[in-house]
Structure formats: structure tokens, C-alpha cells
């Protein structure tokens, strides 16, 4: 199958540091290549991939100090995609709705994975307008605000099987170690809850997280003072090759979110390392964490404190086994191939239906089906 993957240009594929969407695109692209498909990746020029790379910008925009207008390179990249449509069997977009106005005007098989939050008021009118655009959710819960969208399935994220593994000799057992917080510091991620849980359980907390510019004031005013606790170690943003050691050494990953998280990639990263998750029951969390098996689902800080005290009841080997069963990149790629196949079949059916309908109209109007309708018919007299 000839597949185009169209990634955002804000980060490289995979990202150098933090970045969820581009990281998933990287895992999916390479897994599709491993399955034998011919894959073209439209992404930032500093991306690393086993597919053919067609750069949409020389470098990832977030790390480019000279980048001012992020929209312009995305539109140029989309133009290149549309010019090459005949060379692909299916195009898989990861750009939210940016391509919708043009995509609906072309006859080609396509899918769009929606990676972000959908509980935004303006999206109601958008998806009322574009009910025909085929989209994929990354959790069932993510769909809830937009029942009118043209959902073609839910595909959970996956990681390469050997990317993250339990580190040998890691001190993550319930008798020692620390609690971990990994990802991004923002109001909805509630690192302040993680700090409170650590203080109340008297277990050290290590925070490996980035701070976006939009969240800098929140960090300085609300979070920085909490980092003075002797139980808290703020590490900052970490790279991919540091995650196995960081997560394997933790008693548990704390995921104390206060919003409808569409997926939460860090949860399956923890499971890949054999580390259970203590997570607030919001968004996709109940679809990812099996309560009492791979972690505990909680609804309050009090319940989270209690859950930390029960971590010795969980098997770290089981956490890894569940990851291998449910959350590998190969499983994700096979799920998407099934979705691609369905879209290609539907396109073929639509084309056949349109051709048949056009033929019937010409027959009904007395036009010889074998003659172009814009040519004069020969006289039979």
C-alpha cells in the first residue's frame, strides 16, 4: 500500500524532546514500513524516519528561533501533498482540520487522526460543516463532544516494542524508589496534586517535565514555590533515551490530570517500563489503565494517597505484559491499515456508484453511453 503520512511541523518526527503527536507519527510511520508498506512522510526536515521524507520546513518550528509564521510552511506542505495525490493509495493527516476545505474537494482516500482536545465551542460549527471528513479518535472518550463528526474508528496509540523496557536493577519496587511525574507542566496536568500526594505519603517525587511559554507565568507563580519541598526534585525536560531509567526507577507514575485527556502517551510509556500508574479518572484514563491491574483509578488526592500505599499489590511484570498486548506500535499500525483499507474500498464504491449513475442519466436522456456527452450524435436518418 502506498501511504502518505502528513505531520505537523512544530516538532521533528520524532521530537528531540517533548511532543506527543509527532512522536506517535514517528512510531506509526516506521511500523508501517516494517509491515512492508511504501510510506512517504511529510514532516520537518530534521526528522529521522525509515520512510521517504519530504520536508515541509527545514527544521522543527518550535526549536527554530527564526520561525515567525507557522501557518505558511504548513500550507506549502499541503500543496505538495495535493500535487502528489496520484502517487498514494491513502493519505493520513495529523493536522487537525487545517486541510479540510481542500480535502473534501478532491476524490481520494484519506483519514485524519484527531490528537487534541475536542471540547472547544468553535469546533461544533466546524464539524457541523465538515461532517463528511473521515476522522479517527485516539480514545472513545475523546469523541464525546463531537458526536456529529464522521468517526471511522478509535485507534489507541502504541510504542515500538523495544523502545522502553524495565531497566535492570531499577529500584521501583514498593519498598523504595520514588514517584514520577512526566510530561508537561500546565494547569490541567496538575503537578501540584502530584506534589501534595508525595508530601502526604512521604515518598520522594521526581518531576521530568517541560514548561511551555504559555504556562510560564503559571509555573513561576503557582508551581515554583512548591518545588522547594525537600521531597521534590525538578529535573526538567528529558529525552527519549532517558525515559526507561526514569520510569523504571519509580514506584508509580502519577497522572493527576484535571481535564478530559484525549489519550496520555506517558501512561503507556510507564507500562512499557513495568511501572504502574496512579491516575485520576478523567478523559481516556479508564480506557488505558486497568484498575487494580496496571494501576489505580482515583477521584481525589485522598484516594491517590491511599493508592500509593497499595502499590505492592500490583505486578510490574503484568504492567509490561499488558503493554505488549495492547499498546505496541505494530498493533497500532495494523489497526490503521484496516482503516486505510476501508477508506480505499469506500472510495472505490463511491467512484463506481458515480460512474454508474452518470451512465444511467445518459441512457435516460437518450445519449449513447459509448459517446462523450459533449459530442454531437450521428444522425440515424
DSSP letter string over 197-226? HHHHHT--EEEEEE--GGGHHHIIIIIGGG
Query: Would you state the pLDDT for residue 83?
Result: 96
Helices (H), 50-180: 71-83, 100-103, 122-129
User: What are the structural domains, with CATH classification, of the chain?
Assistant: 2-154 (3.40.50.2000), 178-327 (3.40.50.2000)
Q: What is the mean pLDDT of residues 93-104?
A: 96
For residue 377, CA distances in Å to 261, 355, 356, 367 come to 63, 21, 21, 8
127 pLDDT more than 50: yes
When pLDDT is averaged across residues 48-67 and rounded to a whole number, the result is 89
**Would you state the pLDDT for residue 19?**
72
Q: 507542566: which residue's cell?
A: 185
**Does position 360 have pLDDT exceeding 80, yes or no?**
no
Q: CA 184, CA 208: separation in Å to the nearest integer?
A: 8
Q: What whole-number distance in Å separates Cα of residue 114 and Cα of residue 21?
A: 9
**Edge-to-edge strand order for the sheet containing 38-44?**
52-57, 38-44, 2-6, 90-93, 110-113, 134-137, 150-154
Of 174 and 52, the one with more pLDDT: 52
Residues 6+ positions from 220 with CB-CB distance below 8 Å? none
Question: Strand pairing of 250-255 and 232-234?
Answer: unpaired
The rounded mean pLDDT for the chain is 91
Residue 363 has which C-alpha cell? 441512457
Q: What percent of the chain has pLDDT over 70?
A: 89
Cα–Cα distance, 171 to 374 (Å, whole number): 78
Tell me the average pLDDT across 139-151. Answer: 98
How far are the Cα atoms of 39, 321, 336 from residue 161, in angstroms, in the given order?
A: 20, 11, 17
Q: What is the pLDDT of residues 299-350, one digit of tens each?
A: 999 999 999 999 999 999 999 999 999 999 999 999 999 999 999 998 776 6
Decide if pLDDT at 195 tops 90: yes
Q: Give the Cα-Cα-Cα angle 173, 156, 177 (nearest 5 degrees).
A: 15
pLDDT-derived band at 361, boundaries 50, 70, 90: low
Q: Which of 167-181, 311-325, 345-359 has the lowest mean pLDDT?
A: 345-359
Q: How far apart are CA 116 and CA 110, in angstroms?
A: 19
pLDDT digit string, tens, across residues 202-231: 999 999 999 988 999 999 999 999 999 999
The pTM for the full model equals: 0.88
Task: Say which range, 62-66, 237-241, 377-381, has the weakest mean pLDDT.
Answer: 377-381
The answer to whether the beta carbons of residues 27 and 160 sit under 8 Å apart is yes
- Say what the pLDDT of residue 168 is: 73
Half-sphere CA count of 153, side-chain side, radius 13 A? 14
Amino acid at each position: 500500500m502506498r501511504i502518505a503520512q502528513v505531520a505537523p511541523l512544530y516538532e521533528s518526527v520524532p521530537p528531540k524532546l517533548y511532543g506527543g503527536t509527532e512522536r506517535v507519527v514517528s512510531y506509526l510511520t516506521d511500523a508501517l514500513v516494517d509491515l512492508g508498506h511504501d510510506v512517504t512522510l511529510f514532516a520537518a526536515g530534521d526528522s529521522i524516519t525509515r520512510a521517504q521524507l519530504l520536508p515541509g520546513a527545514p527544521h522543527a518550528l518550535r526549536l527554530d528561533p527564526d520561525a515567525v509564521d507557522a501557518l505558511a510552511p504548513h500550507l506549502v506542505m499541503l500543496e505538495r501533498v495535493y500535487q502528489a495525490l496520484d502517487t498514494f493509495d491513502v493519505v493520513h493527516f495529523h493536522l487537525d482540520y487545517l486541510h479540510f476545505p481542500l480535502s473534501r474537494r478532491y476524490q481520494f482516500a484519506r483519514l485524519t487522526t484527531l490528537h487534541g482536545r475536542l471540547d472547544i465551542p468553535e469546533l461544533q460549527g466546524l464539524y457541523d460543516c465538515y461532517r463528511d471528513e473521515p476522522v479517527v479518535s485516539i480514545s472513545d472518550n475523546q469523541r464525546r463532544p463531537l458526536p456529529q463528526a464522521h468517526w471511522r474508528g478509535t485507534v489507541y496509540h502504541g510504542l515500538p516494542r523495544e523502545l522502553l523496557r524495565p531497566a535492570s536493577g531499577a529500584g521501583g519496587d514498593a519498598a523504595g524508589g520514588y514517584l514520577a511525574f512526566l510530561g508537561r507542566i500546565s494547569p490541567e496536568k496538575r503537578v501540584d496534586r502530584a506534589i501534595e500526594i508525595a508530601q502526604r505519603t512521604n515518598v520522594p517525587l521526581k518531576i521530568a517535565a517541560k514548561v511551555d511559554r504559555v504556562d510560564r507565568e503559571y509555573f513561576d507563580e503557582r508551581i515554583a514555590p512548591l518545588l522547594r519541598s525537600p521531597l521534590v526534585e525538578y529535573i526538567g525536560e528529558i529525552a527519549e533515551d532517558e525515559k526507561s531509567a526514569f520510569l523504571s526507577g519509580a514506584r508509580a507514575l502519577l497522572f493527576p490530570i484535571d481535564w478530559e485527556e484525549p489519550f496520555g502517551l506517558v501512561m503507556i510509556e510507564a507500562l512499557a517500563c513495568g511501572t504502574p500508574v496512579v491516575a485520576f479518572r478523567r478523559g481516556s484514563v479508564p480506557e488505558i489503565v486497568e484498575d487494580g491491574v496496571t494501576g489505580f483509578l482515583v477521584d481525589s488526592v485522598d484516594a491517590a494517597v491511599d493508592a500509593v500505599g497499595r502499590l505492592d499489590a500490583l505486578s510490574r511484570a503484568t504492567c509490561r505484559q499488558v503493554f505488549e498486548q495492547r499498546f505496541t506500535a505494530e498493533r497500532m499500525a495494523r489497526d490503521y491499515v484496516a482503516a486505510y483499507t476501508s477508506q480505499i474500498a469506500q472510495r472505490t464504491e463511491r467512484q463506481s456508484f458515480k460512474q454508474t449513475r452518470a451512465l444511467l442519466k445518459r441512457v435516460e436522456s437518450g445519449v449513447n453511453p459509448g459517446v462523450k456527452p459533449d459530442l454531437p450524435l450521428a444522425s440515424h436518418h
